[in-house]
């Protein structure tokens, strides 16, 4: 499975706005480049990213060919309860990656 790095605070106060940072390993081949032989290098990108907080979706993004390799996605949310963030990336050629991280909300 592809390597992913997640950075969220381990602890937060209820109501705090927290930053979630994610980094996913992927080549993000655009599909617009040519090989020496003239053939197009087939597109191979991540097409979607979702984040669930205790089961409910709080963030979703569609990704496109202009996005750099190893996409870094960061966003904010309000810490409401202790629990788990689950992340999922899907893409071309059946690509699928998941990761999760826990938070304690006091």
| Contact residues for another protein, defined by CB under 8 A | 3-7, 21, 23, 25, 27-28, 68-70, 72
Q: Which is nearer to another protein, 67 or 105 (CB)?
A: 67
- C-alpha 68/C-alpha 46 separation (Å) is 10
Q: Which is nearer to another protein, 14 or 31 (CB)?
A: 31
- Provide, rounded to whole angstroms, the least separation between the CB of residue 27 and another protein: 8
Q: Which is nearer to another protein, 74 or 104 (CB)?
A: 74
Beta-strand runs (E) in the chain: 4-7, 11-12, 17-24, 46-53, 56-62, 72-78, 83-91, 96-105
- Provide, rounded to whole angstroms, the least separation between the CB of residue 24 and another protein: 8
Burial class (CB in 10 A: 0-12, 13-18, 19+), 45: buried
Residue at token pair 């909300």: 105
DSSP code for 40: B
Q: Which is nearer to another protein, 7 or 96 (CB)?
A: 7
- Provide, rounded to whole angstroms, the least separation between the CB of residue 74 and another protein: 8
């Amino acid at each position: 499975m592809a390597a992913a790095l997640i950075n969220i605070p381990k602890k937060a106060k209820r109501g705090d706005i927290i930053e979630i940072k994610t980094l996913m390993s992927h080549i993000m081949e655009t599909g617009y480049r040519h090989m020496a032989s003239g053939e197009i290098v087939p597109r191979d990108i991540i097409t979607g990213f979702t984040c669930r907080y205790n089961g409910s979706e709080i963030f979703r993004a569609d990704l496109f060919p202009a996005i750099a390799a190893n996409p870094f996605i960061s966003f904010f949310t309000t810490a409401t309860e202790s629990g788990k963030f689950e992340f999922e990336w899907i893409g071309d050629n059946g690509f699928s990656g998941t990761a999760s991280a826990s938070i304690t909300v006091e």
